Amino acid sequence: MSMPDAMPLPGVGEELKQAKEIEDAEKYSFMATVTKAPKKQIQFADDMQEFTKFPTKTGRRSLSRSISQSSTDSYSSDSSDDEVSPREKQQTNSKGSSNFCVKNIKQAEFGRREIEIAEQDMSALISLRKRAQGEKPLAGAKIVGCTHITAQTAVLIETLCALGAQCRWSACNIYSTQNEVAAALAEAGVAVFAWKGESEDDFWWCIDRCVNMDGWQANMILDDGGDLTHWVYKKYPNVFKKIRGIVEESVTGVHRLYQLSKAGKLCVPAMNVNDSVTKQKFDNLYCCRESILDGLKRTTDVMFGGKQVVVCGYGEVGKGCCAALKALGAIVYITEIDPICALQACMDGFRVVKLNEVIRQVDVVITCTGNKNVVTREHLDRMKNSCIVCNMGHSNTEIDVTSLRTPELTWERVRSQVDHVIWPDGKRVVLLAEGRLLNLSCSTVPTFVLSITATTQALALIELYNAPEGRYKQDVYLLPKKMDEYVASLHLPSFDAHLTELSDDQAKYLGLNKNGPFKPNYYRY
């Protein structure tokens, strides 16, 4: 039952995998400072550059995490704290427990407020708490987790606790932890080992503290990036005897699991929540549809009506971008390599062109192909004055930015994330986020998307924990469609949407269970 096809990066070599990691690096290097306030955004381009100066190994810690746009926001607590490593500190929470390690337990109150705000926007998890209150579907579950530690994750963790689980948690990224939130979790009795700005050594120490505990052995793993799983494999293989399942969130982690599975070394069931329908649609189609306009507006204040835009690639991301731009009255061209997607673009009313056919006339170039060097120096040379170039797709490979680092071109940073590249004849090209992902660099991720991710994780844990013996073998599974549907249904109330129920008669006619699943597995949505 090896499933090469099922892998998120089918038939793709190591090179691409590395590229993935770089991409994740891109995303999460921001994590440290990404903030809600536009002012703070200005800092992060610079931070970015510092990050890249880190020694490679540490640098890597900040990558290969979930591509889920999730968990980005935070407020920088950089300023305040002292320089003593949290590992050296003796801290106890108000109940006298010191089974945690965070920057400063005294910040708990601030963190609690953040969590409460996040709860407002994550009604799906809250309703999950309510619905499952009686049964406690996770009673007896001992979950060890390794994810970004943000207010949203905190809501997830507290939901898991409310459903009966015991949790121990560490951060999957050395920069992304919100210290206040970690403190609030510690105060509430969750064993959290994480702070912002861990060293490589700290990172593994935290994971180890989660796993290696006298008298407590994990029976579920929630991982984001695969490091926790890796550590347990390496150090405590015996732990797997008791483990009922792994839930993995990120592309990288899922990729690692498939490799393990292929090598026959996976000894517990694992659930790939990255590829669930609901999550995929929200991470790509809907999220990009929202953020493309936001990102462009924030950086350039451009008006879209009547502007000519070329979007490279018509996958989920491209479809989202095009829909948004079309709605604002932009004239949209598409480039595609896949004839099926190209035909979809045609039927959706977009002109399918080759890039060099329109490059002289367009006002905005947006890449979302997942490919590299889609916009080359040659294209950039031919663009008209003040053409805007940005990337929504993949890492920083799509626009050949390095080719712009030549002596005859002048770079001028006009504001954070916005560079003017000036040709000798005075022509300017507006390059956004230096070719990195626009939606991560220059816009925010709606909590709704984070809520989808967190709910999917919670349901995957419940499913794996409660599955009868033998339902899941030692393999990597997709979230069952029924669960996927449940995630969706938990989010419908935010739209005040009223789902119709099948009558018995109708269910019989269709041969469906009234409660789903409603579609066969291969259904394309």
What is the footprint of its own copies within residues 425-484 (CB under 8 A)? 463, 468, 470-473, 475-478, 480-484
Q: 272 or 396: whose CB is closer to its own copies?
A: 272
Sheet holding 270-272, edge to edge: 191-193, 166-171, 142-147, 220-223, 245-248, 270-272, 476-478
DSSP string, 295-351: HHHHHH----TT-EEEEE--SHHHHHHHHHHHHTT-EEEEE-S-HHHHHHHHHTT-E
* The only residue of 213, 328, 342, 422 in contact with its own copies, by rule CB under 8 A: 342
- Here the tokens at position 26 are 């891109």
Q: 332 or 478: whose CB is closer to its own copies?
A: 478
* The only residue of 354, 360, 413, 415 in contact with its own copies, by rule CB under 8 A: 354
Q: 283 or 419: whose CB is closer to its own copies?
A: 283
The vertex-393 CA angle with 389 and 394, nearest 5°, equals 110
Instruction: Please state the closest distance from residue 279 (CB atom) to its own copies, in A.
Output: 11
Q: Considering only 135-143, 300-308, 428-436, 515-523, which stretch makes contact with its own copies by CB under 8 A?
A: 515-523
Q: Does 406 bind its own copies (CB under 8 A)?
A: no
Q: 199 or 513: whose CB is closer to its own copies?
A: 513
Backbone angles phi, psi at 401, to 5 degrees: -70, -35
Q: 162 or 352: whose CB is closer to its own copies?
A: 352
Q: Is 200 annotated as a binding residue?
A: no
Q: Is 140 annotated as a binding residue?
A: no
Helix (H) or strand (E) holding 193: strand 191-193
d(Cα 118, Cα 120) in Å, to the nearest integer?
A: 5
* The only residue of 184, 345, 429, 445 in contact with its own copies, by rule CB under 8 A: 345
* The only residue of 132, 213, 352, 409 in contact with its own copies, by rule CB under 8 A: 352
Q: Is 279 annotated as a binding residue?
A: yes
Q: If DSSP states are collapsed to H, E and C, what string results for 85-135?
A: CHHHCCCCCCCCCCCCECCCHHHHHHHHHHHHHHHHHCHHHHHHHHHCCCC
**DSSP 3-state of 414:** strand
Q: Is 319 annotated as a binding residue?
A: yes
Site for its own copies in 181-240 (CB under 8 A): none
What's the Cα-to-Cα distance from 447 to each of 19, 30, 71, 357, 464, rounded to whole Å?
27, 17, 9, 39, 26
Q: Which of 71, 80, 63 is nearest to 26 (CA)?
A: 63
Q: Is 249 annotated as a binding residue?
A: yes
Instruction: Please state the closest distance from residue 355 (CB atom) to its own copies, in A.
Output: 7
Using CB under 8 A, count the residues that bind its own copies: 95
CB burial class (10 A; 0-12, 13-18, 19+) of residue 495?
A: exposed
Could you give the string, one character per residue 297-336, with x where binding to its own copies holds by CB under 8 A and - elsewhere? ---------------x----------------------xx
* Residue found under tokens 């390496």: 234
Q: 99 or 280: whose CB is closer to its own copies?
A: 280
- Here the tokens at position 313 are 């690639």
Q: Is 219 annotated as a binding residue?
A: no
Q: Is 150 annotated as a binding residue?
A: yes
Cross-strand pairs, 331? 308
Q: Is 13 annotated as a binding residue?
A: no
Q: 202 or 398: whose CB is closer to its own copies?
A: 398
**Would you say 189 and 105 are in contact if contact means Cβ atoms under 8 Å apart?**
no
Q: Does 509 bind its own copies (CB under 8 A)?
A: yes
Site for its own copies in 355-394 (CB under 8 A): 355, 357, 370-374
Q: Considering only 171-179, 209-217, 337-345, 420-428, which stretch makes contact with its own copies by CB under 8 A?
A: 337-345
d(Cα 412, Cα 421) in Å, to the nearest integer?
A: 6
AA identity, residue 177: T
d(Cα 457, Cα 451) in Å, to the nearest integer?
A: 10
* The only residue of 162, 213, 328, 512 in contact with its own copies, by rule CB under 8 A: 512
Instruction: Please state the closest distance from residue 394 (CB atom) to its own copies, in A.
Output: 10
Q: 16 or 302: whose CB is closer to its own copies?
A: 16
Q: Considering only 62-70, 173-181, 204-212, 346-354, which stretch makes contact with its own copies by CB under 8 A?
A: 346-354
d(Cα 250, Cα 329) in Å, to the nearest integer?
A: 36
Which residues are documented as binding site for NAD(+)?
A: 315-320, 336, 439
Which residues are documented as binding site?
A: 150, 224, 249, 279, 283, 315-320, 336, 439
